Structure 1
Amino acid sequence: MKKPELLAPAGNLEKLKMALLYGADAVFMAGKSFGLRAFSDNFTEDELKKGVEFAHSLQKKAYVTVNIFPHNEDLPALPDYIRYLSDCHVDAVIVADLGVYRMIRKVAPNLPIHISTQANNTNWSSVLFWQELGVHRVVLARELSLADITVIRDKVTIELEAFIHGAMCISYSGRCLMSNYFTDRDANRGQCAQPCRWKFNLVEEKRPGEYYPVMEDERGTYIFNSKDLCLLPHIPELIDSGLDSFKVEGRMKSVHYAATVIKVYREAIDAYVKDPEHYSVKAEWLEELQKISHRAYTSGFYFNKATQEDQIYGTSSYEQTFDFIGLVKSYDPATKMATIEQRNNLKVGQEIEIMQPGKPNFNQVITEMFDIEDKSISTAPHPQQLFKMRMCQEVVEYAMLRREVQKNA
């Protein structure tokens, strides 16, 4: 059985490291220009080079998005950027526009190219077109069913990638003009303001200033607000479809999100490939995906056309059951003390959970804490404050401390 690549989002260098350490086979990221997530941290050229080097040090891959739909004024700086990516030995660039594709072929002809989901590939003929042009991979449109994907797989030999987890766009494969109209921020040039998540009212043409609520219930309605995609229960079908890469959305999501989602899908994919006959979805995997910030989950278009059940009409807010409160920077096995960077207020007496790459989670109560000068403290209230804490089990660098929201609110 062919094991698919697990591809993780990387909004900055820390998220890149976390995603790879928690089990991703590859990451996708963007520089400060030419990507469709202009409001994530993104990478300076120096950070981008370090990110690629870190991925390669683990024998993993790093892809860079160059998937805006550029206007003329975007083009002069593009050739030098392409050369830089080639010199950094990125494993592929992700492209949506034919003009960008042409420029890459001219400037860096050996640089592998992946075709972005923004290119709207919904049928085998369009995928075959890209295959004949010599691209390495096509990222399929989110609007395809699993049956559609199977047909495409039978018709082409090129690598196929598809989204399996994360936010869904209300517009066809991200081709959206709403942000441009409402805010003058072009979604197709990386500046989406996400107006699909806003609460809307109705205004009649001859009654300006009079707002009529569009009501699903007393909370109003969010008429463009999709649920989040989650295909964890369908790993066998996805692998059997012949997809080469499983993509997780979320370059603007948190470190906690990236680590948790990747760890869950890593375990599920490995478990199915190892023993498909006895594979089953573990309850703890599904519980993990409730701990991160998310909207209610849906299987999207994979098994049926989207209906009103795939939308959220009452709110655009997220839900989660656990808060990310600390990141382990180092651990001394002799003293069993971990040095931790605070990410949320925590104090002595709280029960916490520790998640770390490649190991089971465990719980413990915080019995004592010390500042970096080894003075006893009862709380760590300051953002990114460094402190020490005795652990009941050995932990590794990049282990994460979490606290249940309801018990410790």
Structure 2
Amino acid sequence: MLPKLLAPAGNLDKLIMAVEYGADEVYFAGKTMGMRAGGKNFTSKDLEFGIDYCHKHGRKSNITVNIAPHNDDLQGLEEYLKYLQTIGADALIVADPGVIEVVKQTIPDMRIHLSTQANTTNFHSANFWYKQGVSRIVLARELSFPEIEAIVKNSPKELEFETFVHGAMCISYSGRCLLSSFMTGRYSNKGDCAQACRWKYNLVEEKRPGEYYPIDEDEEGTFIMNSKDMCMVEHLQKFKDLGITALKIEGRNKSEYYTAIAVRSYRNALDELEKPESERNTKYWKEEVEKSSHRDFSYGFFFGNPYKDGQLYTSSSYIRTYDVVGIIRSYDKLTGTCVIEQRNKFSEGDTLECFGPKGTHFEVIAKNMQDKDGNKIESAPHAQMTVKMDMDHEVEPYFILRKKVEE
């Protein structure tokens, strides 16, 4: 059986994109108790719509309730949990044992997924959490394949395991960090990380205040704690062989385009595991995820401690080779005209790439561009403006147009 693909959603647009591009499950948060305070997250109305949208498309909704709460954070928790059950949440992602206890007491039938914030790194811990009512464990990101294999083999067959396969890594143990709160007062374990590990650092000697020495020979200082991003799209067979239940993509604060390209690449690469190896397009899907904004990639800890290969000491900047220029909202087969919602400027005559959930991308030339009233235009410079354009290929809503960034 193929592992399930679990996608992030920081808002409704990203949730819809995750579902349309093939995620089996989507994880997202309400306005409280989630580990991504910087994201817009979901209002009550959005939670209800999002869960319903998942269910209408045969997908599961996993709601994050995984901060490390202080006493004040627990006010109204029982009411919130009852509300999530009422609107049909399929599972809750929880890290704190106290919150797990409240979930069991308040909504005992709810599935509990243990967050990676709980740092599960051995099978004794896995067995402990299973006895506490946890049905799935999101393993710590600091595990190798042999360690994961030992955990799975020495745990109850009913216990599910989930692993991150793509996205940002952390200098601390699966996000258990105090650096942000110490330096800025923003509490990473409550979802408000300032990402102080991504900043530039220099060395100061105690008796020479004001004299800054680069830790490495670089005119911009050094990024001593800057982790590379994880990308395991080339190695999905291993997770299937180990019996992992779900593969998780990181990135609730990333863009719609990131959600689409990551989910599309992993969905297709997963489905191709059922084909002979010679018929798989793994290299293409790796190239596709590289077309979304990312840091340098690594394999995390899956093949052992990455040491220097896991860190990038020269910059925390993202690599961006393509801009998404529009999302297709409709297509008229009779006229060959599509309606596009603009995301970045593009112009008449531009060579664009277009893709949908399945298959490889194809090139199109922007031609016969019109505004929403049918007036001829030479470019689309305004954010989210409606553009009509001829399209020689048949497309569907949520197909994406992108343009290579000029060097």
Which bracket does the TM-score occupy, shorter chain normalised?
over 0.9
Which residue does 1:11 correspond to in 2?
A: 10
Contact 2:199 2:223 in 1 (8 A): yes
Distance 1:405 1:145 in 2: 36
Distance 1:45 1:206 in 2: 55
Q: 1:278: how far off? A: 3.9
Contact 1:216 1:313 in 2 (8 A): no
Which residue does 2:19 correspond to in 1?
A: 20
Which residue does 2:102 correspond to in 1?
A: 103
1:332-383: per-residue Cα shift (whole Å, max 9, x none)? 1111111111100111010001111224311011122101110100111011
Distance 2:322 2:281 in 1: 21
Q: 1:280: how far off? A: 4.3
Distance 2:279 2:250 in 1: 25
Paired residue type of 2:308: Q
Distance 1:276 1:236 in 2: 12
Aligned-residue RMSD, C-alpha: 1.2
Distance 1:231 1:371 in 2: 41
Distance 1:355 1:249 in 2: 22
Which residue does 2:324 correspond to in 1?
A: 324
Aligned pair count reads 405
Paired residue type of 1:404: K
Which residue does 2:309 correspond to in 1?
A: 309
Structure 2 unaligned blocks of 5 or more? none
Which residue does 1:392 correspond to in 2?
A: 392
Contact 1:331 1:337 in 2 (8 A): yes
Contact 1:216 1:314 in 2 (8 A): no
Equivalences for 1:4-403 in 2 at 5 Å? 4-156=3-155, 157=157, 158-272=159-273, 274-276=274-276, 278=278, 280-403=280-403
Distance 1:190 1:218 in 2: 33
Distance 1:20 1:112 in 2: 21
Paired residue type of 1:88: I
Distance 2:276 2:121 in 1: 29
Structure 1 unaligned blocks of 5 or more? none
Question: Kindly tell me: are residues 213 and 277 of structure 1, through their superposed partners in 2, closer, same or farther at Cα, counting changes over 3 Å?
Answer: closer
Distance 1:151 1:83 in 2: 36
1:100-122: per-residue Cα shift (whole Å, max 9, x none)? 10111111111111000000100
Distance 2:292 2:117 in 1: 27
Distance 1:95 1:245 in 2: 16
Question: Kindly tell me: are residues 216 and 19 of structure 1, through their superposed partners in 2, closer, same or farther at Cα, counting changes over 3 Å?
Answer: farther
Distance 2:193 2:80 in 1: 23
Distance 1:105 1:251 in 2: 27
Q: 4+ runs of 1 displaced by more than 6 Å?
A: none
Question: Kindly tell me: are residues 221 and 281 of structure 1, through their superposed partners in 2, closer, same or farther at Cα, counting changes over 3 Å?
Answer: farther
Q: 1:283: how far off? A: 2.6
1:214-252: per-residue Cα shift (whole Å, max 9, x none)? 224334210000111011111111110110000000101
Distance 1:113 1:38 in 2: 21
Paired residue type of 1:54: Y
Q: Say which is worse superposed, 93-102 or 209-218, in terms of deviation.
A: 209-218
Distance 2:279 2:177 in 1: 39
Distance 1:260 1:54 in 2: 20
Distance 1:313 1:184 in 2: 25
Q: 1:206: how far off? A: 3.2
Contact 1:197 1:222 in 2 (8 A): yes
Distance 1:132 1:393 in 2: 54
Tell me, what secondary structure is at the counterpart of 1:172? coil
Paired residue type of 2:396: V
TM-score (norm 2): 0.97
1:363-407: per-residue Cα shift (whole Å, max 9, x none)? 01112210111010011101111111111111100110100113x
Distance 2:378 2:279 in 1: 45
Distance 2:372 2:279 in 1: 46
Q: 1:282: how far off? A: 3.0
Distance 2:182 2:133 in 1: 36
Q: Percent identity?
A: 48
Tell me, what secondary structure is at the counterpart of 1:8? strand
Contact 2:272 2:281 in 1 (8 A): no
Q: 1:275: how far off? A: 2.2
Tell me, what secondary structure is at the counterpart of 2:174? helix
Q: 1:279: how far off? A: 5.4
1:276-322: per-residue Cα shift (whole Å, max 9, x none)? 45454533212111110001110010011121121101100000221
Distance 2:351 2:281 in 1: 27
Paired residue type of 1:401: L
Tell me, what secondary structure is at the counterpart of 1:360? coil
Contact 2:228 2:312 in 1 (8 A): yes
Tell me, what secondary structure is at the counterpart of 2:361? strand
TM-score (norm 1): 0.97
Paired residue type of 1:319: I
Q: 1:68: how far off? A: 0.4
Q: 1:210: how far off? A: 2.8
Paired residue type of 1:332: D
Contact 1:27 1:61 in 2 (8 A): yes
Distance 1:178 1:246 in 2: 28
Distance 1:359 1:277 in 2: 17
Paired residue type of 1:261: A
